[in-house]
């Protein structure tokens, strides 16, 4: 089965989902090209390998090489949901020592933000403000805008990912669109918003993305500065 790859950002972490075989040739080349594209955006990677049916020595060597590369850059690679076969390969080759393996994406992501007692040391990450906005462009705008306050900002585009970040980083302030703040129709949405009830929350109006950027930015900065005085 050919290797298919997908990826998404969750805060400072990039989650790469691999489905198929990680083997010498086109599959390893595709994975290498993707990792090369992602690393400039941050060296903290989670590889979801639950659907990887086979890995050869070349493919495992590729993963080991990028594990070393990310560690040198101050990050690391954590594996998510490895199959019994994949885990047995790591154990047989003793390469399990260079990877942290976790049962779920949430566990792997949380390990980055809280640090991990196993594997190579990776500094724990954190956040002051969690911004939950569906638009990637608005995420970028808010992240850069709020960075002016001296706070560290993490972003998420959906409530399940936001819930992982909320529980892992314990931010001091949540900025969220009004529509997502009012959503309680799923377990993740209900739990996120219930936990957010205990934090200062700034709701972005529906028209935030379409009104004058300067006016919207100044209004948001004023609210953040007022609330952040209590941090």
Question: Of the residues 82, 114, 146, which one is the last residue of a structural domain?
Answer: 114
Question: Same structural domain for residues 133 and 194?
Answer: yes
Q: What are phi and psi of 173, to 5 degrees?
A: -150, 140
Residue 121 lies in a domain: no
Question: Same structural domain for residues 94 and 183?
Answer: no
Count of domains forming the chain: 2
Question: Same structural domain for residues 11 and 110?
Answer: yes
Predicted confidence (pLDDT) per residue in 124-148, tens digit: 566 799 999 999 889 999 988 888 7
Residue 122 lies in a domain: no
pLDDT for position 228 = 73
Residue 97 lies in a domain: yes
Predicted confidence (pLDDT) per residue in 1-19, tens digit: 789 999 999 999 999 999 9
* Rounded Cα–Cα distance for residues 69 and 153 (Å): 25
pTM recorded for the entire structure = 0.83
CATH number of residue 19's parent domain = 3.30.750.24
Predicted confidence (pLDDT) per residue in 180-212, tens digit: 999 999 999 999 999 999 999 999 998 998 888
Residue 109 lies in a domain: yes
Predicted confidence (pLDDT) per residue in 45-102, tens digit: 999 999 998 999 999 999 999 999 999 999 999 999 998 889 989 888 888 888 889 9
CB of 147 within 8 A of CB of 4? no
pLDDT for position 66 = 95
Question: Same structural domain for residues 110 and 133?
Answer: no
CB atoms inside a 10 Å sphere around CB 60: 18
User: Is the four-CA dihedral 57, 61, 67, 70 of positive or negative sign?
Assistant: negative
- Owner of token pair 């393996």: 101
Domain that holds residue 190: 129-228
pLDDT for position 115 = 67
Paired residues of 129 in beta bridges: 153, 173
Of 177 and 114, more confident:
177
């Amino acid at each position: 089965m050919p290797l298919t790859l997908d990826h998404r950002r969750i805060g400072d972490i990039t989650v790469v989902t691999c489905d198929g075989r990680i083997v010498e040739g086109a599959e390893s080349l595709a994975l290498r090209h993707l990792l090369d594209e992602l690393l400039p955006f941050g060296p903290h990677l989670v590889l979801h390998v639950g659907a990887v049916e086979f890995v050869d020595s070349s493919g495992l060597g590729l993963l080991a090489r990028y594990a070393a590369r990310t560690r040198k850059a101050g990050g690391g690679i954590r594996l998510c949901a490895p199959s019994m076969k994949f885990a047995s390969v790591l154990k047989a080759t003793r390469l399990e020592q260079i990877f942290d393996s976790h049962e779920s994406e949430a566990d792997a992501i949380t390990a980055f933000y809280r640090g991990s007692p196993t594997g190579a040391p990776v500094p724990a990450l954190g956040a002051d403000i969690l911004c939950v906005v569906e638009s990637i462009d608005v995420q970028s705008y808010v992240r850069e805008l709020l960075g002016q306050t001296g706070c560290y900002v993490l972003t998420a585009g959906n409530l399940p990912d936001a819930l992982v970040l909320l529980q892992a980083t314990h931010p001091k302030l949540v900025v969220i669109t009004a529509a997502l703040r009012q959503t309680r129709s799923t377990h993740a949405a209900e739990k996120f918003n219930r936990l957010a009830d205990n934090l200062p929350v700034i709701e972005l109006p529906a028209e935030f993305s379409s009104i004058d950027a300067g006016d919207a930015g100044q209004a948001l900065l004023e609210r953040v500065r007022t609330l952040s005085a209590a941090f």
